[in-house]
Amino acid sequence: MKLNIKKITLLGVFTATALILSYIEALIPPIFAALPMVKIGLPNIVIIFVLYKLGFKSALSVSVTRVLMNGLLFGNAVAVIYSLAGALLSLVLMALIKKINAFSVVAVSVLGAVAHNLGQVAAAVIIMQTAAIFGLVPALSIAATLSGIIIGLVSATTIKLLKNIKI
């Protein structure tokens, strides 16, 4: 097996950047008082960038490593389960819609944000064994759409600005 040191190093830098953005995001007070669990999704800037520049496997590696490290450093096992459920569903759906090549980076980001929330709600329903949590989906979807647009615009700009960078 041939190791690509440059790629491993880049993935490490991207993971560290996403982890730093997770920490910064944790310092930001809740945007919506009624839904204190809603975050803007700053690490997704990195995940979307890696998805577009290096592909699904690299984005999966960065995303899962970031979630696990974030859980080890700042969270707990249940938080890791919720985050992994959201991150995996989000990334799989973003990769599929990106592959269609008919949607903008912003649309991919919005889908990813909504899917992330749906993944977390599904995990919560399973863990808490109550379907009542599905009642949060409409409000979470609105918040996800707004944050997805913001993160998508930043991601699209980053991809455009760094399009000539060979990685």
Residue spans per domain, the chain: 5-161
Neighbour count for residue 76 (Cβ, 10 Å): 9
Domain topology for 5-161: Arp2/3 complex 21 kDa subunit ARPC3 (1.10.1760)
Distance CA 60, CA 92 (A): 9
Q: Tens digit of pLDDT for each residue in 48-92?
A: 999 999 999 999 999 999 999 999 988 788 889 999 999 999 999
Classify each residue of 127-139 as buried b or exposed e, where b means 16 or more C-beta atoms within 10 Å of its C-beta: eeeeeebeebeee
> Taking Cα atoms as reference points, which of 40, 22, 23 lies closest to residue 31?
40
Higher pLDDT: 78 or 111? It is 111
Three-state DSSP state, 30 = coil
| pLDDT for position 38 | 77
Distance CA 66, CA 20 (A): 9
- This model's pTM is above 0.85: yes
> Taking Cα atoms as reference points, which of 156, 145, 96, 149 lies closest to residue 116?
145
| pLDDT for position 35 | 64
Please check the confidence at residue 33 and state whether its pLDDT lies above 60: no
Please check the confidence at residue 110 and state whether its pLDDT lies above 90: yes
Amino acid identity, position 122: A
